[in-house]
Chains A and B, each alone.
Chain A
Amino acid sequence: MMADLPLVNQDPYQELGLDPSVSDADLRKAYFTLVRLHGPEKDPVRFKRIRAAYERLSTPERRLETDLLRPQPWAAQPLPPLDRDPGLWAQDVLRAARSLSDLDRRHFREDCREVKS
């Protein structure tokens, strides 16, 4: 049975204050530290949440699922340089040169011939 998308603010990494790249050993260490701070008698609600978060992350299958139900980091590529000619784009020079030619003309009376009856 597939798990649904976790509700907003139910990120187990956030709950444990960890980065998703945390190793298993560091995960365990962080869990025990938090459990000592928020024991079941001292802070039962938080304890329950910490435990649930740890349970999600300590099982490989559930951790994979947790990881994949979070937005994936999208490494934006370094911005490419602006594609520009330092002085003048060749196509603009060509376009200007064209404007001196018949290509940009409309009237060619000199090329016409009379047809006599």
Chain B
Amino acid sequence: MRNANPEPSSPQHPSALRPGSHGYGGLDDGFKAFKKEKFTEAIQAWGSLSPDSLPQLKPALAEAHFRRALGQADRSAAIPDLRDALGLVPEDGRFWYHLGLALHQNGELKGAREAYALAARHGFPRREPLAYVQGLLELEAAHGEVAPGMARALPGLCLEEDLIAPVRALLMRDWTTLAALAPFPAVPHAKGTPAVPGMVGLLRGLGQVGLGQWAQGLQTLGSLAPDLLPGPLEALRVVFLGRALERTGRGADARKIRAATLARTQNATLGAEVAEASLAEMEALLAERRWTPVVPAARELLKHFPCARARGVAAIALDQLGREAFAEGRWGEAANHWRELLRLGGEDLPGKAACAHNLALAWEGQEQWDQAASAWEAALAAMPKRITKTRVKAGTAFGGLSPEALIQRREWIERRALELRQRTGMTDDVLRQRKALIKRNPKDLDLRLEQVAMLLDEGEIRAADREISAILRIDPEHLGALEASARVLLMRGLAKPAETVLRRVLAIEPGRAFARRALAQVLAARAVNLPGAADQTAVAMLEEAIELSPKEGRFRLLLADRLLNGHAAEQAQAQLEAALALGPEAWREVFGFWVNRRDLAQLKALVTRGEALGVLDPEFYIDGGLDCLRVAEESGRVAKAQAWAAFCRVLLDQAAAHGPSLDQLRDLVSYLLVPHPELALPYAERAAELGPTHPMVLMDLAVAQSGTGQVEAAKATLLKVERVARTHKDRREAASILGLLRVIPALGVHSLHATFCRVMEELEEDFDSESEGDS
């Protein structure tokens, strides 16, 4: 056995540091620290002195840097110290050699090659290990062309005589040579490096297994203790031992030993073998359409052995799971599977557009519009971008789709993404993206019109106007653009020019609904503003408005008003009759018409007629009653006010008699409560009958009772509210009732103040103590 750890060689540069003679305390301190192998302290002590005044200091300081570098567990951390040592003594081959090792291990092959060459030039004494790592470096540099690279580099290997043949055989997979190694030769190793026990057994075993001598290989490799060999050699042992075990019917043992070794050591061959077995299992599951167990198994495999086949298996399972979830409406699950598929496949995923498309649908299912829009955009980005006219004409297909179909799909997806962005309220983004889309498709006038509509909604009138002009330059009779143009003119207060544009639209297409309604409104607005002297003109304009939009009762009422003012009562009545024929809503409008004209007699007649026809509902009575109440409040004359108030009561009683909903009653009570508690009370009582545990209804009743002097009844009602709050199962609801109670003082109901305070105090105490209990 050769000497693996020769004694330290005698120094070639004996640095005669004599601190006493120079009188430098730092020298002595450094020396002491060096002796104790405290190299950092030594470097600090010597580093504070000037090496120029003490030339013998340089080799000592360099040695301290070198020693500290050798002590680094991580070789790359040694590089600065080695460079410092070389800065002091550049001709020392040892420093170059170790710098080469550090760079080599760091993957910096070019720098390592240079450092090794300089080590050789400066006479690094251990020539064989140096030649060996130089040979290894060349082998590694030939990565990608390994076999020829190895063959070229082999002559460069400088090994012990008895190691050359086995290592060459291993590198060239020459199993015959390895299997023929004598059972107990001297242990080979690189000259000048420590011996590796078990090496020969390993190489022979590899050869035996390589030659298919399974039993012999099993015996040879199995006899080596697992901790005998360094990690990479032990991994080789397990690779070949596993093969021998498998061939001798011990597949389970092979799997076990491979997995255990792979958990400790990195080895691509072993990883591939474990992956192969695992993939075979996963592919069998895929064949049985059992997708679920494949995904975690593939994830686990990819952690240790990232390979395209495992990614492919995982992708198939994820896609199928996504489809199953989607088909059953489990959108979130589908999105998760497809998202993982996209992540796993990365940029090169085949069919990425389809995957992103499906993910977009899954996001839409969850109403996650923003994510859905992003997924649609990803699908677009993955589709072919340049679809030239030539290619369209040539009918060149893209992934099974004709160019025309692909263009249609692209456009649909672009719009879909835009619309989804619009749903998220990200108007700026939508405007910007649509602008880009318009730039690519300037003749898509529908798209441009969508942009106009959004710009107008956003109040960007100038930008909208520019877009409208662009559309009209392409198609001067584009009806949508002309209508939008009229809208712009109206927004600028230019009614007359708007009227001209709208008339132009209707000249092209008389039935155009928007233009008809808009023109009717323009005419009505203009007619209303005409002075009384221009009755004839106003009447003509309103008649045209009615003709344009006959189902809008408002125009008929405006016309009836003009006609009545002009003493054409009969014609006015005809318009009112026509309005009433439009439906229940028109009855409310006609009621409002007579209220505006303060004609109580006509109102009473209208109500009598409506009741006879059965067209009046609680809402009509409530609205009508409140209209009459407002007139009564505004009226300066007592008699008139009383008459209107009396009719108000009649209408509200009718409302109550016609079975109003709780919400209708609550609206009525809240309107009447503070100014007219006596009016509100019967409706509050009726509401309390419909909602006996509704806290807000009860509180309204308490306030109405209090307002009408029924203090005891009000207190009892308030205590009822307290009971409702206490018995409420949902604490948040109960807390909100408490919040409602706090409103009472603001209503100025002084008679309830004491009760309110007591109820609040007790309730709040209870809530506080419960909160403390919770905490």
Binding site for B on A (CB under 8 A): 2, 4-5, 7-8, 64-65, 68-77, 79-85, 87-105, 107-117
CB nearest to B105 among chain A residues: A103
A71 touches B267 (CB 8 A): no
Stretch from B186-194, B473-481, B608-616, B654-662 at the A interface: B186-194
Tell me which residues across on chain B come within 8 A of A103, comparing CB atoms: 101, 104-105, 133, 136
> CB < 8 Å: which of B59, B94, B190 contacts A101?
B190
> Which of B165-173, B434-442, B589-597, B706-714 lies at the binding interface?
B165-173
Given A2-B415, A92-B236, A95-B266, 17 new contacts (CB under 8 A): A65-B412, A74-B351, A85-B268, A90-B143, A90-B150, A92-B232, A92-B268, A92-B270, A99-B231, A100-B163, A100-B196, A103-B136, A104-B232, A110-B5, A110-B6, A114-B10, A116-B17
Q: Which residue of A lies closest to B362 (CB)?
A: A71
| Distance (whole angstroms) from the CB of B92 to the closest CB of chain A | 9
User: Which B residue sits closest to A7, measured CB to CB?
Assistant: B329
Q: How far is the CB of B360 from chain A (nearest CB, A)?
A: 10
Does B99 sit at the interface, judged by CB under 8 A? no
In the complex, A77 Cα to B19 Cα: how many Å?
Answer: 76
The docked-state distance in angstroms from the alpha carbon of A68 to that of B7 is 79
A112 touches B319 (CB 8 A): no
- The 8 Å CB contact of A64, one of B97, B189, B350, B409, is B409
In the bound complex, do residue A5 and residue B94 qualify as a contact, i.e. CB atoms below 8 Å apart?
Answer: no
CB–CB A96/B15 < 8 A: no
Task: Give the distance to chain A from B744, nearest Cβ to Cβ, in Å.
Answer: 46
CA distance A96 to B230 in the complex (A): 8
A73, A74, A79, A109, most chain B CB atoms within 10 A: A74
Measured between C-beta atoms, what is the minimum distance from A35 to chain B in Å?
27
**In contact, B365 and A75 (Cβ under 8 angstroms):** no
| Cβ-defined contact, A96 with B17, below 8 A | no
**How far apart are B150's CB and chain A's nearest CB, in angstroms?**
8
A94 to B279, CA, bound (A): 27
Q: List 16 A-B contacts (CB under 8 A).
A: A4-B364, A76-B315, A77-B350, A90-B143, A90-B146, A92-B236, A92-B269, A96-B232, A98-B232, A99-B232, A101-B132, A103-B105, A105-B193, A110-B5, A117-B18, A117-B28
In Å, the complex CA distance between A49 and B272 comes to 54
**A100, B189: Cβ atoms under 8 Å?**
yes
Contact assessment for A68 and B70 in the assembled complex, using a CB-CB cutoff below 8 Å? no
- The distance from the CB of A112 to the nearest CB of chain B, in whole angstroms, is 6
Question: Smallest CB–CB gap between B507 and chain A, Å?
Answer: 29
Contacts of B313 in A (CB 8 A): 79
- Least Cβ distance of A47 to chain B in Å? 25
Partner of A113, one of B31, B63, B190: B63
Is B129 a contact partner of A101 (Cβ separation < 8 A)? yes
| CB-based contact B133/A99 at 8 Å | no
Task: Say how far A93's CB is from chain B's closest CB, in angstroms.
Answer: 6
Q: How far is the CB of B89 from chain A (nearest CB, A)?
A: 11
- Docked-complex contact A112 and B232, CB < 8 angstroms: no
CA distance A108 to B100 in the complex (A): 14
What are the residues of chain A within 8 A of B11 when measuring CB–CB? 113-116
Q: Select the residue from B129, B323, B419 with max chain A CB neighbours within 10 A.
A: B129
The answer, among A7, A91, A112, for a CB contact under 8 Å with B67, is A112
Q: Given the interface contacts A72-B354, A100-B190, A103-B133, does A115 sit within 8 Å of B269 by beta carbon? A: no
Q: Which residues of chain B have a CB within 8 Å of any CB of chain A? A: 5-19, 28, 31, 34, 59-60, 63-64, 66-67, 70, 94, 97-98, 101, 104-105, 126, 129, 132-133, 136, 139-140, 143, 146-147, 150, 163, 167, 170-171, 173, 189-190, 193-194, 196, 199, 210, 230-233, 235-236, 239, 266-270, 272-273, 275-276, 279, 283, 307-309, 312-313, 315-316, 319, 322-323, 326-329, 350-351, 353-355, 357-358, 361, 364-365, 408-409, 412-413, 415-416, 419
A-B CB pair tally, cutoff 8 Å: 204
- Given the known interface contacts A76-B312, A92-B235, the answer about A97 and B170 at a Cβ–Cβ threshold of 8 Å is yes
Shortest beta-carbon distance from A11 to chain B in Å: 9
Contact A101 B170 (CB under 8 A): no
B272 and chain A: residue at smallest CB distance: A84
Whether A100 pairs with B8 at a CB distance below 8 angstroms is no
Q: Tell whether, in the assembled complex, residue A89 and residue B105 are in contact, meaning their CB atoms are under 8 Å apart.
A: no
In the complex the two chains form, what is the Cα distance from A82 to B270 in whole Å?
A: 13
Q: How far, in angstroms, from A92 to B358 measured CA to CA in the complex?
A: 42
CB of A97 within 8 A of CB of B136, answer: yes
- What is the chain B residue whose CB lies nearest that of A100? B190
Name the B residues within 8 Å of A109 (CB-CB): 5, 8
Docked complex Cα distance between A95 and B16 (Å) = 43
Q: Which A residue's beta carbon lies closest to that of B372?
A: A5
CA distance in complex: A77, B136 (Å): 39
Are B319 and A110 interface neighbours, CB within 8 A? Answer: no
Report how far A25 CA is from B283 CA in the complex, Å.
Answer: 40
Instruction: Kindly list chain A residues whose C-beta atoms are within 8 Å of the C-beta of B233.
Output: 96, 99
Q: In the complex, are the beta carbons of B319 and A76 less than 8 A apart?
A: yes
CB contacts (< 8 Å) of B279 on chain A: these are 82
| A68 and B412 contact, Cβ closer than 8 Å, known pairs A8-B327, A83-B308 | yes
Give CA–CA (A12, B245) in the complex, Å.
Answer: 57
- Residues of B with C-beta under 8 A to A99: 196, 230-233
With a cutoff of 8 Å between Cβ atoms, the chain B residues found around residue A111 in the complex are 70, 94, 97-98, 126
**Given the complex of chains A and B, what is the CA–CA distance between A65 and B411 in angstroms?**
11
**Beta-carbon contact of A100 and B312 below 8 Å:** no
Within the complex, the shortest CB–CB distance from A21 to chain B, in Å, comes to 10
Q: In the complex, are the beta carbons of B231 and A97 less than 8 A apart?
A: no
Contact A92 B361 (CB under 8 A): no
Shortest Cβ distance from B133 into A: residue: A101
Interface pair A2/B419, CB less than 8 Å apart: yes
Query: Chain A residues with Cβ under 8 A from B323's Cβ?
Result: 71
Min Cβ gap B505→A in Å is: 22
Once the chains bind, are B9 and A89 in contact (CB under 8 Å)? no
Q: B190: nearest residue on chain A (CB-CB)?
A: A100
A94 to B154 alpha-carbon distance, docked (Å): 12
CA distance A96 to B279 in the complex (A): 27
